Structure 1
Amino acid sequence: MMKKIGLVAAMTAISVSFASASISADTLSTVKKKGYLNCGVSTGLPGFSNPDDKGKWQGLDVDVCRAVAAAALGDEKKVKYIPLTAKERFTALQSGEIDILSRNTTWTLTRDVSLGLNFAGVNYYDGQGFMVSKSLGVKSAKELDGAAVCIQSGTTTELNLADYFRQHGMKYTPVVFDTSDQTVKGFEAGRCDVLTSDQSQLYALKIKLSKPNNAMVLPEIISKEPLGPVVKQGDDKWFNIVKWSLFAMINAEELSLASDNIDAKKKAKNPEVKRFVQSDGPIAKQLGLNQDWAYQVVKQVGNYGESFDRNVGKNSPLNIDRGVNSLWSKGGFMYAPPMR
């Protein structure tokens, strides 16, 4: 009898657990009910997620949040941005504090399979590098034996750094900080000889220096860092919405659809353009979105190229060359599944 009671209790607990998971898994309904989505961003990284002088968040990662809000709520402004350190970001997503994490986060095997998270694509292909003071007289990362290295905790850069120095038979002293701002301040104050991070972040941090021209980024790239938005596992509909919001931006650039011309393309004869602009009723319904969701993404936020240029590219202070972040049709890595 006691075994039966125990079995019934266990089965009841499992049922309640699954029921709770099912209820909490419907992120889209939760987002619609509160009228906005919570997006986890950095504590301030120019070009990716950084508030301007009026407190408005801007950046390549911020545009992903805006795109999801445009698709899910019809309004790119319905986003609450939550600044998170590298240590805090995954816990915030796992706990439900945020609905999406869009914070220059590297997609790795460990993170993909052990944290209960899903990466929804790549919005920037990056690699780890090194920044040094020009006065150090160093031209290559292979000359950094014995260096003190400023590094941000809770990032993939820690393991990459250890692997690189071990591989080349060099020693280093890590100087660890919690935020990117603390890291760059430590570098500027002379706490370390070199600052290491993703190259995109190095260029962003370089412009924060009081004398940017006194520093240089070394040529070596020592890792693969595919950066992209992340959601919690267990909600396939929300996962699809986030990844297809990003894919819509990439596909739009390939189809030459931009925020300033998409209205004129509504009557286009090109079937791919027509399918994109008018969307697809059954598919939109399965996503739980309005039929014009993809149109709203591009009209309100722009295509991927527009986002890249204004945030990190030729129209931004960073002026980063697109390189591998060009479309696949132009020699880069940017490629999205077709919208059909």
Structure 2
Amino acid sequence: MKKTVFVGALSAAAFSAGLAHAQTTLETVQNRGELICGSNTGQAGFGAPDANGVWQGFDVGFCRALAAAVLNDPNAVTFVPLTSQTRFSALASSEVDVLARNTTWTFVRDVDLNLTFVGTNYYDGQGFMVTRDLGVSSALELDGATVCIETGTTTELNLADYFRVNNMSYEPVPVDTAAEAQQQYLAGACDVYTTDVSALASSRAAFAEPGDHAILPEVISKEPLGPVVRHGDDQWADIVQWTLFALIAAEELGVTSANVEELKAGSNNPEINRLLGVEGGFGEMFGLDNEWAARAIAAVGNYGELFASTIGDQTPIGLARGLNAQWTQGGLLYAPPFR
């Protein structure tokens, strides 16, 4: 009897170990042949379907780069629209493989929610948008204002802190999604719409009369936005993280979607050679081939190309690089060395 129990325990342990191995995220994605990416419910420039139903945007581009790296196909992605309230539960329950939408890296989210923020792809901050006919030029003039605010966000907490510190009052108009916030703001249900400055710029660009709306100068918080994965799968976290770093490093090194194929043949720059898989065998270290980064760059361009084509100052969103410039250009973008 004891022997049977012991053998049964061993069999159960072996079965559990087999399941654990089978459930690595990389294997799941490769066996499925598709990356499932948690995205916005619709934020122009960052993540939204176009008129043909094809997802486009800055965060969408990152997911396509990741799919190119892992699956050799930037179009092998399903985008799942997630609200601020559903995004973390969807990631935790494995409904999505990665979360790539405007999500702020905070202590509680990183530690208490058992999530892993793999890096920052956009340095942002919270701001305020008002109609110009409100006659307000500073957030310090908003005492008593009604404010449209997405619930379940850091934005909600920052708003309360800012008004408290400045001895001002406000009346919240709670909403569940950015689309609802925009609708309520345009309908006059609130005086002010507050969220990340990038999201305000995205919203304003989609308005019928963008010039009738002003983004106030105050930026009241730090909002480092970036891709998120679950705790416990370091291999997948490394792949997602270094795909982001590959796009950032490519810009610094002058590797673009136009010249990546040529540079794959080899160059006199050892770091470019390591990035593109000519030297070093880096891809093999986390379960990919050595051209993973070259495929990511070919798919969407380097970080600067992706920024310029989706949210840059020549697009309707009209964002300057600012803090999101390379460290060599006065910004905060910095990829660890490929060495």
Name the TM tier (shorter chain).
Answer: over 0.9
Aligned pairs for 1:86-97 (under 5 A) are 86-97=84-95
1:237 is the counterpart of 2:232: no
- Number of the residue aligned with 1:313: 312
Shift of 1:166: 0.3
Q: Deviations over 1:61-93 (max 9, x none)?
A: 111111111111111111000001110000000
Equivalent residue for 2:200, pick from 181, 199, 202: 202
Equivalent residue for 2:162, pick from 158, 161, 164: 164
Q: Equivalent pairs: percent with the same residue?
A: 50
Cα RMSD (Å) of the superposition? 2.0
- Number of the residue aligned with 1:338: 337
- Number of the residue aligned with 1:189: 187
Give the aligned residue type for 1:163.
D
Aligned pairs for 1:221-260 (under 5 A) are 221-260=219-258
Matched residue count: 333
Distance 1:272 1:281, change over 3 A: closer
Q: Distance in 2 between matches of 1:235 and 1:149?
A: 40
Q: Distance in 2 between matches of 1:210 and 1:137?
A: 20
Taking structure 2 as the reference length, what is the TM-score of the superposition?
0.94
Q: Distance in 2 between matches of 1:280 and 1:230?
A: 29
- Number of the residue aligned with 2:297: 298
Residues 40 and 101, structure 2, Cα contact 8 Å, conserved in 1: yes
Residues 153 and 177, structure 1, Cα contact 8 Å, conserved in 2: yes
Q: Distance in 1 between matches of 2:20 and 2:65?
A: 26
Taking structure 1 as the reference length, what is the TM-score of the superposition?
0.93
Shift of 1:271: 1.1
1:150 is the counterpart of 2:148: yes
Aligned pairs for 1:120-139 (under 5 A) are 120-139=118-137
- Number of the residue aligned with 1:85: 83
- Number of the residue aligned with 1:269: 268
- Number of the residue aligned with 1:176: 174
Point out where structure 1 has 5 or more consecutive residues left out of the alignment: none
SS at match of 2:51: coil
Give the aligned residue type for 2:287.
G
Give the aligned residue type for 2:317.
L
Residues 30 and 71, structure 2, Cα contact 8 Å, conserved in 1: yes
Q: Distance in 2 between matches of 1:21 and 1:166?
A: 51
Residues 279 and 293, structure 1, Cα contact 8 Å, conserved in 2: no
Residues 276 and 294, structure 2, Cα contact 8 Å, conserved in 1: yes
SS at match of 2:276: helix
Q: Distance in 1 between matches of 2:252 and 2:287?
A: 25
Q: Distance in 2 between matches of 1:281 and 1:261?
A: 20
Q: Deviations over 1:178-197 (max 9, x none)?
A: 11011001000000000000
Q: Deviations over 1:272-325 (max 9, x none)?
A: 112222255643112110111111011111100000001110332112110110
Give the aligned residue type for 2:333.
M
Distance 1:275 1:282, change over 3 A: closer
Shift of 1:208: 2.3
The worse-fitting range, judged by mean Cα deviation, of 52-61 and 17-26 is 17-26
Distance 1:196 1:250, change over 3 A: same
Point out where structure 2 has 5 or more consecutive residues left out of the alignment: none
Residues 25 and 235, structure 1, Cα contact 8 Å, conserved in 2: no
SS at match of 2:290: coil
The worse-fitting range, judged by mean Cα deviation, of 69-78 and 16-25 is 16-25
- Number of the residue aligned with 1:76: 74
Residues 84 and 177, structure 2, Cα contact 8 Å, conserved in 1: yes
Q: Distance in 1 between matches of 2:191 and 2:281?
A: 57
Q: Distance in 2 between matches of 1:285 and 1:277?
A: 13
Shift of 1:23: 3.7
Equivalent residue for 1:63, pick from 41, 58, 61: 61
- Number of the residue aligned with 1:53: 51
Q: Distance in 1 between matches of 2:235 and 2:325?
A: 29
Q: Distance in 1 between matches of 2:18 and 2:166?
A: 51
Residues 153 and 178, structure 1, Cα contact 8 Å, conserved in 2: yes
Residues 250 and 304, structure 1, Cα contact 8 Å, conserved in 2: yes
- Number of the residue aligned with 1:286: 285
Q: Deviations over 1:73-118 (max 9, x none)?
A: 1111110000011100000000000000001100000100011110
SS at match of 1:226: strand
